[in-house]
């Protein structure tokens, strides 16, 4: 499947478009002003931005605890002051910072009923933070019953409860909305490992591991081991770049009792036993975009059954999925889809749709390319992966592992070191050295909810997201790279369009990138600075059709100024962390497909499009 990249629309091309939008936003704001009896106007909330850079899918615009209080978890107690339970059950908007690492053992579920909360698991020192149950009740660790929740870098490893349990999920989302779970590791559920129920909507599960649903443990029905159930009027749910491993069934199960839309893109499903995906089998409509997923069988996988099973109510768009029955993209897209009522028979085409359903734009990789990226990045990776995730990922790579009944079969819960938290003298949640680096006062807590660079993210969010807050907000350049577009292939004359691009990540295909440009004859120059995060040798790579040149710190690293099909070129240079280096890219398109992308990688930096957070234009 072709790598799908959303083309950038340049501001100057759409001047009147933005004028109209500005007018409509102003009108909307006026229409929504509420004037109480005392005559004080209440303002409308600011326009939505992603929950954090890299948030994708239906849940991407969750506000979380933005602008709220900073609450600290400084012990591993089940309840009481300083506990995670106390922070999650608090009533105000809040961002939860961890000052301790380790495993929190719960006697009963933490139920989140108050909205606007961010759980910043990446702040935990030592080996990170995990949740489990103590096994003395029919319960589970975490239930979300509210809206605007962000959870990142959290491990939830439930474990078995009392015999004949039925409530053993690691995480349950019931009736909430605007929820995103990112880079988390979920395992050892006795019912499902994760599920959504009771009409939740606008939910994203991304970059997370869902593994080892317990097979023949304490569930009332006996053999279970279910990965993920997304049902009972669940709607607008995204599963993106997750790893499901060692789950017998529901990999995933999508079944709306209302009329739900699901987006399942670039996930890896390893070692299912009885069933891979199960879609539909109800009276209501279950609409699914199932794109770029990879089904890799394991030792106990029943490969005589289709990877994806569909039934009554299912309407499924499939593209670019790979598995035992569809090993390459030249084969029929429908060839890995079977009948949910007769597992070894192909599904009727009445369940198939030929165009994807409306869903948020999302970057789609070829399934095998996504497989490598997912294994490198998935799960609770901060501050480090634990022994469970390391073992599961090795199983995926090696084609090993088994269904388990109890955690002790694979070593049980790992001991997570408590560690030493970062220094934060003013108690604003931001590390003192980070505040000093970016021009804030580490003895003044009032700056935590300010927005130094005016991008919509508060300073504490910039710290948590590892993005540049703009040096205290004083005259900083715009993030991204300045561009100049020319209506010729030689970068000559006066540019026809100028502005700032967030990144260099474009696939215009055979379309024109802007009015007035020919689809086969144009050129672009990007200039600005790049700021690496590590002191080491960096490799910069371009992917282009046609000509491309790249300079970093005045040194030309790439020079392929020829007509060619999509080609990757790379060059290396030594760089120092947190220093800005001049960067220039020149590109021309002569004929055929128009593609240009800019990546980097190093020993500590995985290969990625150079993000906006590390690029600076000369425009302020």
CA distance 467 to 456: 13
Closest by CA position to 604, among listed 499, 497, 532: 532
The two tokens of residue 306 are: 């289709």
CA distance 553 to 583: 6
Query: Cα–chain-centroid distance for residue 151?
Result: 11
Out of 66, 132, 250, 385, pick the active-site residue. 250
Where do runs of H (alpha helix) occur along 82-205?
A: 84-89
Closest by CA position to 240, among listed 117, 360, 383, 62: 360
Q: For the chain, how far is it from start to end, CA to CA, in angstroms?
A: 39
* Annotation says 302 is catalytic: no
The per-residue DSSP string of 441-504 comes to -TT-GGGTT--TT-SS--HHHHHHHT----GGGSSPPPBSEEEEEESSSS--SS-SEEEEES--
CA distance 216 to 273: 13
The per-residue DSSP string of 274-297 comes to S-SEEE--SSSEEEEEEES-EEE-
Q: Which residues pair with 185 in a beta bridge?
A: 155, 209
Contact 266, 292 (CB under 8 A): yes
Pairing of strands 177-182, 147-152: parallel
The per-residue DSSP string of 187-229 comes to E--SSEEEEEESS-EEEEEES-EEE---SSSSBTTSS--EEEE
Query: How many residues can be counted in the chain?
Result: 620
CA distance 246 to 91: 38
The two tokens of residue 580 are: 């800005």
CA distance 323 to 578: 43
Backbone angles phi, psi at 461, to 5 degrees: -65, -40
Backbone angles phi, psi at 353, to 5 degrees: -115, 155
Q: Which residues contact 446 (CB under 8 A, 6 or more apart)?
A: 428
Backbone angles phi, psi at 14, to 5 degrees: -125, 40
Contact 387, 411 (CB under 8 A): yes
Where do runs of H (alpha helix) occur along 285-423?
A: 367-377, 387-398
CA distance 523 to 547: 9
Q: Which residues contact 409 (CB under 8 A, 6 or more apart)?
A: none
CA distance 511 to 507: 9
CA distance 346 to 323: 14
Q: Which residues are catalytic?
A: 250
């Amino acid at each position: 499947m072709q790598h799908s990249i959303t083309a950038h629309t340049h501001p100057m091309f759409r001047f009147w478009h933005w004028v109209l939008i500005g007018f409509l936003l102003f009108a909307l704001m006026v229409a929504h002003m509420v004037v109480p009896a005392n005559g004080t106007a209440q303002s409308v909330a600011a326009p939505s931005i992603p929950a954090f850079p890299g948030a994708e899918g239906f849940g991407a615009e969750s506000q979380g605890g933005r602008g709220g209080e900073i609450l600290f978890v400084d012990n591993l107690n089940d309840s009481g002051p300083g506990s995670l339970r106390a922070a999650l059950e608090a009533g105000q908007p809040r961002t939860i910072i961890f000052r301790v690492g380790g495993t929190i053992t719960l006697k009963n579920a933490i139920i989140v009923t108050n909205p606007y909360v961010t759980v910043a698991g990446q702040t935990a020192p030592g080996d990170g933070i995990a949740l489990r149950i103590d096994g003395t009740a029919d319960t589970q660790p975490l239930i979300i019953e509210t809206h605007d929740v962000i959870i990142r870098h959290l491990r939830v490893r439930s474990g078995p409860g009392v015999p004949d349990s039925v409530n053993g999920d690691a995480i349950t989302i019931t009736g909430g909305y605007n929820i995103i779970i990112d880079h988390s590791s979920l395992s050892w559920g006795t019912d499902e490992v994760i599920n959504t129920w009771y009409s939740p909507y606008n939910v994203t599960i991304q970059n997370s591991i869902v593994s080892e649903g317990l097979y023949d443990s304490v569930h009332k029905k006996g053999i279970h081991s279910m990965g993920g159930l997304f049902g009972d009027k669940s709607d607008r749910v995204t599963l993106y770049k997750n790893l499901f491993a060692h789950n017998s069934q529901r990999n995933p199960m999508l079944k709306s009792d209302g009329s739900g839309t699901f987006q399942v893109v670039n996930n890896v499903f390893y070692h299912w036993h009885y069933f891979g995906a199960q879609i539909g089998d109800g009276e209501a409509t279950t609409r699914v975009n199932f794109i770029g997923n990879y089904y890799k069988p394991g030792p106990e996988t029943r490969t005589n059954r289709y990877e994806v099973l569909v039934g009554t109510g299912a309407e499924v768009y499939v593209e670019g999925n790979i598995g035992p029955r569809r090993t390459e993209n030249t084969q029929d897209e429908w060839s890995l889809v079977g009948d949910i009522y007769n597992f070894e028979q192909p599904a009727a085409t009445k369940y198939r749709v030929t165009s994807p359903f409306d869903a948020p734009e999302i970057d789609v990789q070829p399934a095998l390319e996504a497989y490598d990226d997912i294994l490198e990045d998935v799960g609770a990776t901060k501050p480090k992966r634990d022994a469970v995730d390391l073992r599961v990922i090795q199983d995926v790579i090696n084609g090993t592992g088994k269904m388990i009944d109890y955690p002790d079969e694979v070593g049980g819960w790992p001991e997570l070191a408590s560690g030493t938290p970062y220094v934060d003298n003013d108690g604003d949640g931001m590390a003192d050295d980070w505040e000093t680096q970016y021009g804030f006062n580490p003895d003044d807590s009032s700056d935590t909810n300010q927005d130094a660079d005016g991008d919509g993210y508060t300073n504490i969010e910039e710290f948590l997201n590892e993005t540049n807050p703009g040096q205290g907000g004083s005259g900083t350049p715009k993030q991204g790279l300045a561009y100049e577009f020319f209506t010729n292939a030689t970068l000559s004359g006066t540019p026809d369009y100028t502005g700032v691009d967030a990144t260099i990540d474009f696939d215009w295909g055979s379309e024109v990138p802007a009015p007035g440009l020919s689809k086969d004859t144009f050129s672009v120059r990007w200039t600005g600075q790049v700021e690496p995060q590590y002191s080491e040798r960096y490799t910069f790579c371009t992917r282009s059709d046609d000509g491309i040149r790249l300079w970093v710190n005045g040194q030309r690293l790439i020079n392929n100024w020829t007509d060619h099909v999509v080609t990757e070129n790379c060059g290396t240079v030594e760089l120092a962390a947190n220093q800005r280096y001049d960067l220039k890219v020149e590109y021309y398109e002569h004929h055929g497909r128009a593609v240009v992308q800019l990546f980097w990688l190093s020993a500590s930096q995985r290969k990625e499009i150079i993000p906006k957070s590390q690029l600076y234009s000369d425009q302020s």
